[in-house]
């Protein structure tokens, strides 16, 4: 079993990445003390609410899991910084400021708010977070829900529809359903699964479609552009849905994996590519880090389901490849976010938002490793903001 990959990933996450982002990734000065930075080192002028919400999820979840002591910082961010990103009646804006799309209210941000609230609730036991999530979900159903099922991109209800925010809403609902057993979240999970089966997954082409015309019709030119990383992400989510609902998702998971594994990997770099056409032709052959984390999560699912002989070797190979391409040689706890089609690193500040993808993948792999003979190593809890030994 792939203990080496699990050990490496878990050690790096607990001792390097989480402490660095908790120590160096939070503003400690006005006007928004305790807010999370967009990137390290900070250069971006824009502060997006999705970064706050993703980091809140990571640090609340990691605190509840005993990986780091960040509960005080997470609650302080929610209390003092998050209100700046939220309107009085509950929904979250895209970003701070008045320029461009900053004032848009997108489904994507609301989905991550629900996910963050679920982790804060599980960490603290405070029923206020459960109430906030229920009220936000009610607001979404009034202002963002579509008569044809699912949710619009934003409150302007543009004709272009996207599966991506609905996918993350599915993730949040599954988390709340697992945490509370509440029928609200169970029913929403069922509705989004059914929408995936009816619309998001194209049964004729055997792939996940990203963009649609009204009525969830894959009739636009952009409908042909698909993300192999999301094929892996849905594989993981559908397995989680199966575990909670008892509904068999093996057939569609296998189809997602066939497409992603057959067409989604760059032969030059070995990494999952950013974007393809639905006929399998490469479209954007560069590779973001998040696509690699989703492949690892799908690897874990495939191992659990016994779908592929030698899947344990695949996991170790993919973890090592991710570290070699994106992490080794970067400053401690940081990472490169994208490589070119030729496998060369693109030099940019480290975006905080990708930590969420890394953290969830690490949790899944760590949990699987702990179930194997000998279990995962006990790396202990890292004190607030303090890096442990290498």
Q: Which residues contact 384 (CB under 8 A, 6 or more apart)?
A: 22, 68, 69, 70, 72, 73
Could you tell me if residue 382 is inside a domain?
no
The answer, yes or no, to whether residue 83 has pLDDT greater than 90, is: yes
Query: What percent of the chain shows pLDDT beyond 90?
Result: 85
Domain annotation covers residue 98: yes
* Band of pLDDT at residue 26, cut at 50, 70 and 90: very high
Determine the pLDDT at residue 300. Answer: 95
Beta partners for residue 194, in sequence order: none
In a domain, residue 388? The reply is: no
Peptide bond into 31 cis (omega under 30): yes
Residue 383 has pLDDT above 50, yes or no: no
Helix (H) or strand (E) run with residue 40 in it: strand 39-40
Q: Which of 65-79, 80-94, 248-262, 301-315 has the lowest mean pLDDT?
A: 301-315
Reported as a single tens digit per residue, the pLDDT across 299-331 is: 999 999 985 556 678 899 999 999 999 999 999
Considering the entire predicted model, what is its pTM? 0.95
pLDDT recorded at residue 380: 54
Predicted local confidence at residue 31, as pLDDT: 76
Q: Please state the rounded mean pLDDT for residues 357-362.
A: 98
pLDDT one-digit tens code per residue, 33-49: 789 999 998 887 789 99
Residue 168 has pLDDT above 50, yes or no: yes
Give the residue with greater pLDDT, 42 vs 139: 139
379: three-class secondary structure by DSSP:
coil
Q: Is 385 within the bounds of a domain?
A: no
- When pLDDT is averaged across residues 278-282 and rounded to a whole number, the result is 96
Inform me whether the pLDDT recorded for 3 exceeds 90. Answer: no
- Within a domain: 377: no
- pLDDT > 70 in the chain, percent: 94
Task: Report pLDDT for 306.
Answer: 86
Residue 22 lies in a domain: yes
What was the pLDDT predicted at 387?
39
Tokens representing 389?
Answer: 């030994």
- The reply to whether 380 falls in a domain is no
Q: How many domains does the chain have?
A: 1
CA 288 to chain centre: 13
For residues 317 and 367, give the distance between their C-alpha atoms in angstroms, rounded to a whole number: 18
Least confident interval from 42-56, 243-257, 335-349: 42-56
Listed range (31-35, 120-124, 180-184, 263-267) with the worst mean pLDDT = 31-35
For residue 48, give the 3-state DSSP assignment. Answer: strand
23 CB-near residues (< 8 Å, 6+ apart): 385, 386, 387
- Domain assignment present for residue 128? The answer is yes
Q: What is the mean pLDDT of the chain?
A: 93
- What is the per-residue pLDDT across 193-249, written as a single tens digit (0 to 9) for each? 999 999 999 999 999 999 999 999 999 999 999 999 999 999 999 999 999 999 999
pLDDT score recorded for residue 261: 97
Q: What CATH number is associated with residue 124?
A: 1.50.10.10
3-state secondary structure 205-273: CCEECCEEECCCECCCHHHHEECHHHHHHHHHHHHHHHHHHCCCCHHHHHHHHHHHHHHCECCCCCCEC
Q: Whole domain around residue 132: which residue ranges?
A: 3-370
91 or 312: whose pLDDT is higher?
A: 91
Structure tokens at 375: 């279990």
pLDDT of residue 29: 77
pLDDT tier at 336, thresholds 50, 70, 90: very high
> Cβ contacts of residue 95 below 8 Å, gap of 6+?
46, 47, 48, 49, 85, 101, 102
């Amino acid at each position: 079993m792939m203990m080496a990959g699990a050990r490496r990933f878990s050690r790096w996450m607990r001792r390097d990445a989480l402490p660095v982002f908790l120590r160096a990734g939070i503003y400690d000065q006005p006007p928004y003390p305790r807010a999370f930075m967009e990137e390290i080192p900070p250069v971006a002028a824009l502060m997006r609410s999705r970064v706050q919400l993703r980091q809140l999820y990571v640090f609340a979840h990691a605190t509840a899991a005993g990986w780091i002591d960040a509960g005080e910082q997470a609650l302080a961010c929610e209390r003092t910084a998050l209100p700046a990103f939220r309107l009085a009646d509950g929904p979250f804006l895209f970003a701070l400021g008045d320029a461009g799309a900053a004032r848009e209210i997108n489904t994507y941000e609301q989905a991550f708010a629900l996910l963050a609230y679920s982790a804060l609730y599980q960490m603290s036991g405070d029923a206020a977070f459960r109430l906030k999530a229920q009220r936000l979900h009610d607001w979404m159903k009034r202002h963002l829900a579509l008569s044809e099922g699912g949710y619009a991109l934003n409150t302007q209800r543009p004709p272009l529809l996207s599966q991506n925010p609905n996918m993350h809403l599915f993730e949040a609902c599954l988390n709340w359903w697992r945490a509370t057993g509440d029928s609200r979240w169970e029913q929403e999970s069922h509705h989004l699964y059914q929408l995936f089966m009816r619309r998001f997954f194209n049964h004729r082409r055997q792939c996940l479609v990203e963009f649609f015309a009204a009525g969830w019709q894959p009739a636009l030119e952009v409908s042909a552009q698909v993300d192999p990383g999301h094929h892996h992400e849905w594989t993981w989510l559908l397995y989680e849905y199966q575990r909670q609902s008892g509904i068999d998702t093996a057939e569609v998971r296998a189809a997602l994996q066939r497409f992603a594994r057959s067409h989604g990997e760059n032969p030059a770099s070995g990494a999952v590519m950013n974007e393809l056409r639905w006929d399998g032709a490469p479209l954007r052959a560069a590779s973001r880090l998040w696509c690699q984390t989703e492949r690892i999560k799908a690897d874990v699912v495939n191992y659990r389901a016994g779908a592929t002989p030698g899947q344990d070797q695949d996991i170790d190979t993919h973890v090592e490849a991710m570290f070699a391409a994106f992490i080794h040689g970067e400053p401690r706890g940081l990472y490169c976010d994208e490589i070119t089609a030729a496998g060369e690193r693109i030099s940019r500040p480290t975006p905080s938002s990708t930590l969420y993808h890394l953290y969830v993948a690490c949790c899944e792999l760590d949990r699987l490793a702990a179930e194997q003979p000998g279990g995962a190593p006990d790396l202990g809890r890292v004190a607030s903001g303090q890096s442990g030994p290498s």
